[in-house]
Chain A
Amino acid sequence: EVQLVQSGAEVAKPGESLKISCKGSGYMFTSHWISWVRQMPGKGLEWMGKIDPSDSYTSYSPSFEGHVIISVDKSISTVYLQWSSLRASDTAMYYCARHLRGSSREELDPWGQGTLVTVSS
């Protein structure tokens, strides 16, 4: 079974750094891009960026570029989303999702269970 399992909920303060993870299993990890999607409380879905696990190539939405970094550790089939300086407005649920086919096209299936990030002083 193809599965993405994300790290647990996090609580952090504004200005702190944070790294959350997404571990893939049940498929050839380096054959499928992974995207990150944000969902703020009670709101819709926003695509943040994606990574090709085979070569670590990344692409970001202009709305998120410079504020987050997406990285990968192929040896443990895990993709990361990190912030160097959190803001209160980063409070949201974050989902990772695998690209359905072996391309950069963002047909997202399956999704991880989500990681809730709460930023509060």
Chain B
Amino acid sequence: EIVLTQSPGTLSLSPGERATLSCRASQTIISSYLAWYQQKPGQAPRLLIYGASTRATGIPDRFSGSGSGTDFSLTISRLEAEDFAVYYCHQYGTPPTTFGQGTRVEI
């Protein structure tokens, strides 16, 4: 199965700063079938990005995804207080679908 490695494990930033989260795959992810999810404490995950770069419905444009092959990233252009959460990348191109271990974005 494809292993997704996210870095860093924890990102300590302030509101207004830019956050860049990385997701590296152990094999090429076909057709850029890579998604990003946000999970806040006590809540279910929420889809942010799919197809590596397409924002899900209702997701603010400060969230953007990029990458292809084995290297992908999620950028939050200007952090807002509500963005402090755990972010997971997720590949769904090669069965079984797998998730990264998560990056915590904290103040």
Contact = CB atoms under 8 A, between A and B. Distances in A.
A62 interface: yes
Contacts of B63: none
B98 interface: yes
A53 interface: no
Nearest to B44: A111
A59 interface: yes
Query: Which one of B46, B50, B95, B96 has the greatest number of beta carbons of chain A within 10 Å?
Result: B96
Contacts of B50: 100, 107, 109
Interface size class of A (residues with CB under 8 A): 20 to 34
A25 to B, nearest CB: 16
Question: Which 10 interchain pairs have the tightest Cβ spacing?
Answer: A109-B47, A111-B44, A106-B92, A45-B99, A107-B50, A61-B96, A106-B97, A47-B97, A44-B101, A44-B102
Interface residues of B, number: 23
Interface string B33-61: 10101000000111100110000110000
Nearest to A62: B96
B33 A105 contact: yes
A95 B100 contact: no
